[in-house]
Structure 1
């Protein structure tokens, strides 16, 4: 039986590292963020929370899941290169949730809610998930009684395939199987994929 772990996979959930604070010549940290916050597409809240919001630049739903296209991606405080880097996402394939759009920038967050603004060139529509349970069993069929084909450890990143109401088909490094949605992050609880 294959065991997929964060050290075994070439794609791992790399968390993130906090960016170094930038100081001026005096060593005092600057909180300037290049002016007022721009108008942007945000995920609906409150009474509009059930409605599907579409991004004005992409015409895609907000929120939505994407993955990190590069091996490192700077998450900035605001949607421009002049904003300070707050986080650096460290691993290609890491699943992220887009929560807002502004021009060529997407506000994203990881499973822990950490994030910021990244340029759209750093993310991909390829869907991945990260294992949240200590160990998740991958089954031959979307059924607890079916054979276990592999096990994936917490933090392992896998490619997302089909999803039913409670199960998703995932794969990585030659291993494939069905896992309960509750064991992964990177797919909405009510999302169905064919």
Structure 2
């Protein structure tokens, strides 16, 4: 007699798994469009402020939608609600925010043997220009180059970004 086991594995958020009420995929990465953004405990202005972001362009992951409010997750895994007017579709990423010491080589081309043009410290904020599922072209104010996609928080592991 065979026993059928059905298990629902939790999503690793590697790819969007559903569509939200906005018609956009959930989860998805966006960035902050304002320099000061209140993150609330619930979806509305009457809810308490949980914390405040003070950096325009930081990436956040939208995990839920309710009307004009978006439940977001930051790079440390904390969640709260932000009004959609404070979010942008511009793609940004943080370099290796899980590390205190690991620098990431910024390479001239998408190859482990390519010459480094710089070494990026953890938590460097970068604009994401494109990703092919393995490598991302990123840039900052005075630099640009390629990094392995797995070294960024703000893009999914096998996601392509144009």
Q: Shorter-normalised TM-score: what interval? A: 0.7 to 0.9
The corresponding residue for 1:113 is 77
TM-score (normalizing by structure 1): 0.72
Cα pair 1:128 1:157 within 8 Å, conserved: yes
2: CA distance, partners of 1:115 / 1:52: 19
1:179 is paired with a residue of what secondary structure?
strand
Offset from partner CA, 1:156-188 (integer Å, 9 cap, x none): 100001112221110001211000122110000
Taking only aligned residues, the RMSD between alpha carbons, in angstroms, comes to 1.7
The corresponding residue for 1:141 is 109
2: CA distance, partners of 1:181 / 1:140: 15
Shift in alpha-carbon separation, 1:144–1:95, aligned structure 2, 3 A: same
2: CA distance, partners of 1:79 / 1:72: 18
1:92 aligns with 2:56: yes
Cα pair 2:29 2:154 within 8 Å, conserved: yes
2: CA distance, partners of 1:93 / 1:181: 19
> Which residue of 158, 163, 175 maps to 2:143?
175
Name which structure has the greater RCO, CA cutoff 8 Å, separation 6+.
1
TM-score (normalizing by structure 2): 0.85
The corresponding residue for 1:55 is 20
Offset from partner CA, 1:88-122 (integer Å, 9 cap, x none): 11210100000000000000011111130000011
Q: Which structure: larger Rg? A: 1
* Unmatched tracts of structure 1, length 5 or more: 1-45
The corresponding residue for 2:3 is none
